[in-house]
Chain A
Amino acid sequence: MTRIRVAATVAVLTAVTLTGCARATDMQTLAGAAPAGPQVLSDIVGKLYGATGHREAGQERQFYAWQAAMGACMVGKGQQFGLPSFTPISQAGSKIGPGDILAFAPQRDSFGIGDRTVQAARVGGQDNPALLKLSGAAAEAWLAAQGECEPATKATEDLAVPANMATPAVSLQEELAAIQQQLAPGLDAAWKSCMAAAGHQVEDLSDVSGLVGKRYPPVTFEQASDPTRLPGWGEAVAFERAVAATDWQCRAGESTRVVNASGEKLAVWQAAHAVELDAVAAAWAQMPTLRDTAKAAALKVATVK
């Protein structure tokens, strides 16, 4: 250990004594040891993207806020309004890869596309219950009012995530892209060639979603159903898992190397955005309460139970 590192270590220990706590990555940085890339990335993602329960609450909050806004306007126009079924989509198996940037995208067994479709299909019934009770001119009047009311929902469209998330998230994506460009400039092209060699013509991970999604038998969600009974479902599940395996095979070495080598750069970014990250994490923590508030408002405005 050099003299500088000894001094830094003393400073860290003093800070820990005074404040009672210190983040591991802060300590490693100050002590001179390169912070572990996977740990720093995990710390950042944990704050910026919230816990799985928080993201699920965000989805539900947005749904009910949209319905409450629409319902209040419809009832104000003298129309009946009911709540369609909310379809909970579990985030339990999701793995965050900020911006779907290849070097930092996690290894996945699947992309969750089949699983989410099954969850959505088992609920079904997405029409408004009030509309289903109407016909003829009454239904036309209801639809006309609905069209007039839609602007009232516009402000609810982004409520699934904290409002203060976008700016640091975009900054993080830019940082990750810059790190990839510096440490693995050929990764995108090599991955694309590798995927093509395996028979998958894709430009990026967004394309993979389209590639896998269209392999599944279409499900309309109009009625509750079990799509796993559809012809071709099992083959689609196998295809999704095979594509996920190929994705990782095509970038495992580079992704692992880049993440492991990026600890110091990510720690610098983390320190520069510490206040923003804490604010986003606090906003995510509020999401279950905001969900409950939105749901209560939607239930209150509904006139068709």
Chain B
Amino acid sequence: MSTHPRRRRGLAALAALMLGVVTALFGASPAQAAGYIYHGPGGSYGVYDFSVADDWMHLQSHPQDMTTGNCWDTIFDWYRGPGHYDARLARSCKDWTARNTQRSNESSAINLVNVQRLGVCYGPNQYTNSSSAYCTNRIGTVIGVNVTVGPNNLCTRAWSMTPTGTLQFFGAGIPWECYA
């Protein structure tokens, strides 16, 4: 949903304050964490929020003053246990319009052992894993994640928005595999 830029900044500040409280309460423990990552133009930011105990996560991408043709990503990639990794991505390619995963319920449980990669990227559509210069990482290296958004990516589940504004969801095949 579009909102006036100035109002959006105000809402962002309020939300940041609330999330700050959440973070203060739960810290950065692997069980529950929340925070903001700022990156790119005009105060653009991503939000991450997850609870291992309740098996959900929530990613948000808030692009502000993007160049036409660019997109904004928030990415979370984690290790679930023996040989098992997973990744989720929220991408908006429409300026001033947020894309979020809502609370992503994980059918096979989050099983968060540790976070491999957590970060945000801004750059030309589908280019954001071609150079680390496009990303700001809180943990790990976002560059290693396959962030192609489309039905062809069987590794990263994605919630995206086209430059025109159509919402999309790509489930990535079998949710806990990269090749099926």
Q: Which residue of chain A has its CB nearest to the CB of B155?
A: A209
The yes or no answer to A14 lying at the interface (CB within 8 A) is no
Q: Among the listed A144, A151, A221, which residue makes an inter-chain contact with B150, where contact means beta carbons less than 8 Å apart? A: A221
Q: Which residue of chain A has its CB nearest to the CB of B163?
A: A222
Contacts of B153 in A (CB 8 A): 116, 213
Contact: B126 with A219, CB < 8 Å? yes
How long is the Cα–Cα vector from A205 to B177 in the complex, in angstroms?
10
Binds B, one of A2-10, A160-168, A296-304: A160-168
Among B105, B111, B127, B175: residue with most chain A CB under 10 A? B175
Q: Among the listed B154, B167, B176, which residue makes an inter-chain contact with A173, where contact means beta carbons less than 8 Å apart? A: B176
How long is the Cα–Cα vector from A174 to B164 in the complex, in angstroms?
43
The yes or no answer to B137 lying at the interface (CB within 8 A) is no
Contact: B155 with A87, CB < 8 Å? no
Contacts of A151 in B (CB 8 A): 102
Among B124, B127, B164, B168: residue with most chain A CB under 10 A? B164
Contacts of A49 in B (CB 8 A): 174, 180
Contact: A139 with B173, CB < 8 Å? no
Could you tell me which residues of chain A, from 116 to 163, have a CB within 8 Å of some CB in chain B?
A: 116-117, 119-120, 126-128, 131-132, 139-140, 143-144, 146-148, 150-151, 153-154, 157-158, 160-161, 163
Q: Among the listed A126, A143, A150, which residue makes an inter-chain contact with B2, where contact means beta carbons less than 8 Å apart? A: A143
Contact: B162 with A127, CB < 8 Å? yes
Q: B1-24 CB contact bits vs A (8 Å, 1 = yes)?
A: 110000000000000000000000
Could you tell me which residues of chain B, from 99 to 151, have a CB within 8 Å of some CB in chain A?
A: 102, 104-105, 107-109, 111, 124-127, 129-130, 143-146, 148, 150-151
Binds A, one of B25-33, B34-42, B78-86: B78-86
Q: Among the listed B83, B124, B150, B179, which residue makes an inter-chain contact with A94, where contact means beta carbons less than 8 Å apart? A: B179
Contacts of A62 in B (CB 8 A): 171
Contact: B82 with A178, CB < 8 Å? yes
The yes or no answer to A101 lying at the interface (CB within 8 A) is yes
Q: Among the listed B97, B109, B151, B164, which residue makes an inter-chain contact with A59, where contact means beta carbons less than 8 Å apart? A: B151
Given contacts A62-B171, A126-B162, A150-B167, contact A209 B178 (CB under 8 A): yes
How long is the Cα–Cα vector from A210 to B178 in the complex, in angstroms?
10
Contact: A99 with B82, CB < 8 Å? yes
How long is the Cα–Cα vector from A188 to B97 in the complex, in angstroms?
42
Contacts of B163 in A (CB 8 A): 222
The yes or no answer to A235 lying at the interface (CB within 8 A) is no
Q: Which residue of chain A has its CB nearest to the CB of B103?
A: A154
Contact: B165 with A166, CB < 8 Å? no
Contact: A116 with B1, CB < 8 Å? no
The yes or no answer to A194 lying at the interface (CB within 8 A) is no
Given contacts A157-B171, A219-B126, contact A140 B164 (CB under 8 A): no
How long is the Cα–Cα vector from A143 to B164 in the complex, in angstroms?
10
Given contacts A119-B152, A126-B162, A177-B83, contact A210 B167 (CB under 8 A): no
How long is the Cα–Cα vector from A49 to B177 in the complex, in angstroms?
11
Contact: B1 with A96, CB < 8 Å? no
Contacts of A120 in B (CB 8 A): 150-152
Contact: A210 with B155, CB < 8 Å? yes
Q: Which residue of chain B has its CB nearest to the CB of A212?
A: B146
The yes or no answer to A248 lying at the interface (CB within 8 A) is no
Contact: B108 with A170, CB < 8 Å? yes
Could you tell me which residues of chain A, from 245 to 283, have a CB within 8 Å of some CB in chain B?
A: none
Contact: B82 with A87, CB < 8 Å? no
| Closest Cβ–Cβ distance, residue A99 to chain B (whole Å) | 5
The yes or no answer to A84 lying at the interface (CB within 8 A) is yes
Contacts of A128 in B (CB 8 A): 166
Instruction: Give me the 4 closest cross-chain CB pairs, A-B, nearest first.
Output: A177-B82, A218-B126, A116-B152, A147-B1
Taking A116-B153, A126-B162 as given, write out 6 further A-B residue pairs in contact, using a Cβ cutoff of 8 Å, ordered by the A residue number: A95-B179, A98-B177, A154-B105, A177-B84, A220-B125, A220-B126
Residues on A facing B (Cβ under 8 Å): 49, 55, 59, 62, 66, 70, 84, 87, 89, 91, 94-102, 108, 111-113, 116-117, 119-120, 126-128, 131-132, 139-140, 143-144, 146-148, 150-151, 153-154, 157-158, 160-161, 163, 166-167, 169-170, 173-174, 176-178, 180-181, 188, 204-211, 213-214, 218-222
Residues on B facing A (Cβ under 8 Å): 1-2, 81-85, 87, 97, 102, 104-105, 107-109, 111, 124-127, 129-130, 143-146, 148, 150-155, 162-169, 171, 173-180
List 8 interface pairs A-B (beta carbons < 8 Å), by A numbering: A89-B151, A117-B148, A132-B164, A143-B2, A160-B171, A170-B108, A208-B178, A213-B153
